[in-house]
Amino acid sequence: MIFYFSGTGNTKWAAEYVSSLTNEKLIFIPDVLEGDCHFNVEVDERIGFCFPVHGWRPPFIVRDFIRRLRIDDAAAHYCYALATCGDDVGLTFEYLNKDLAEIGLQTDSVFSFIMPESYVGFPFMNVDKKEKRDAKKEKGVKELNLLAQDIVVRKKGLCIINKSHWPIINSKVIGSFFVEKMVKDTPFRVEENRCVKCGICADICPVDNIKGGLGIEPEWLHNGLCTTCFACYHHCPHHAIEFGNRTKNKGQYYFHKK
């Protein structure tokens, strides 16, 4: 069983690939978050967690899900985590295992690999230029092929991981600021002169946080579910969505198969 979260598609692609090799079911976390989060796992089935790195931590929606998660005899199963990141993971897996310990589970192996950058919420952060983006995707495909084989054979231990020289500063200092100040939908706004009311942003939001549809100007619900994954921003065909003034003149990115 593979529990995953994805905003702009990098992690969805990775999770789907692993699922195709292991023949194990994919569970999209937002779809089950409001349920009892109690799952039955087959005797020889793996337990996987796939997610993008947000602020050098697991996304808060993944952490909330894990706190609610209940799996009978979970410790008897091979457990792994796979994270996609634009640069490095910081202490992401340390946070993850701390959360898992609360439900009697720990990862047997952790993996990460770099994919094109999609976070544009900080003034100094933008998507990668085309050459860098394509190089990251090409390398990412190769790394996913390798780590997926390790998952298939249930390899244990620290495997492929991207870690910075300053994991504590990134995850604890900048990460705390990110969670407290940046993970909110209030800065999102619509440039009315560019919006054609196509409804794509509402359809693509992974947590259904946008009221909209064909012929309706989008409106964020401010319900606390926004993960600032920027799927709405990146998928807007007319670049009509902005995050305050921090996304002005920045690029867009979302994963798609060639």
Question: 191-244, pLDDT tens digit by residue?
Answer: 999 999 999 999 999 999 999 999 999 999 999 999 999 999 999 999 999 999
With 60 as the cut, is the pLDDT of residue 126 above it?
A: yes
Confidence band (pLDDT; 50, 70, 90) for 182?
Answer: very high
Rounded Cα distance, 84 and 136, in Å: 11
Q: Tell the burial category of 145 from Cβ atoms under 10 Å away from its Cβ (0-12, 13-18, 19+).
A: exposed
Given a cut of 90, whether residue 188 has pLDDT beyond it is yes
Mean pLDDT over all residues of the chain? Answer: 93
> What pLDDT was estimated at residue 159?
67
pLDDT of 143 over the 70 cut: yes
The per-residue pLDDT for 85 is: 93
**Cβ proximity of 161 and 196 under 8 Å:** no
Residue 149 CB partners (closer than 8 Å, separation 6+): 21
| Confidence grade of residue 169 (pLDDT, cut at 50, 70, 90) | confident
Beta bridge pairs of residue 28? 4
**Distance between CA 162 and CA 1 in Å, rounded?**
25
pLDDT of residue 230: 97
Q: Where in the chain is the domain with CATH 3.30.70.20?
A: 185-243
When pLDDT is averaged across residues 112-126 and rounded to a whole number, the result is: 93
Residue 74 pLDDT class (50, 70, 90 cuts) = confident
Whole-prediction pTM value?
Answer: 0.94
Give the per-residue pLDDT at 258: 47
Alpha-carbon distances, residue 107 vs 26, 39, 155 (angstroms) = 18, 17, 11
In this predicted model, what pLDDT tens digit does every residue of 9-53 receive, in sequence order?
A: 999 999 999 999 999 999 999 999 989 999 999 999 999 999 999
Query: What pLDDT does 189 receive?
Result: 96
Q: How far is CA 24 from CA 47, 146, 159, 190, in A?
A: 9, 18, 21, 40
Q: Is residue 151 over pLDDT 90?
A: yes
155-162 average pLDDT score: 75
| Rounded Cα–Cα distance for residues 1 and 43 (Å) | 11
Q: Give the mean pLDDT of 72-86.
A: 93
Reply yes or no on whether the pLDDT at 97 is more than 70.
yes
For the chain, what percent of residues have pLDDT higher than 90?
Answer: 86
Average pLDDT over residues 48-63: 96
62 forms beta bridges with none
Collapse the DSSP code of 189 into the 3-class scheme (helix H, G, I; strand E, B; otherwise coil) and give the result: strand
The hierarchical CATH code for the domain 185-243 is 3.30.70.20
**CATH number belonging to the domain at 2-180, selected among 2.30.31, 3.10.260, 2.60.40, 3.40.50:** 3.40.50
CA distance readout (Å), 213 to 47, 202, 205, 216, 228: 36, 6, 12, 5, 20
The CATH 3.40.50 portion of the chain extends over 2-180
Supply the pLDDT for residue 239: 96
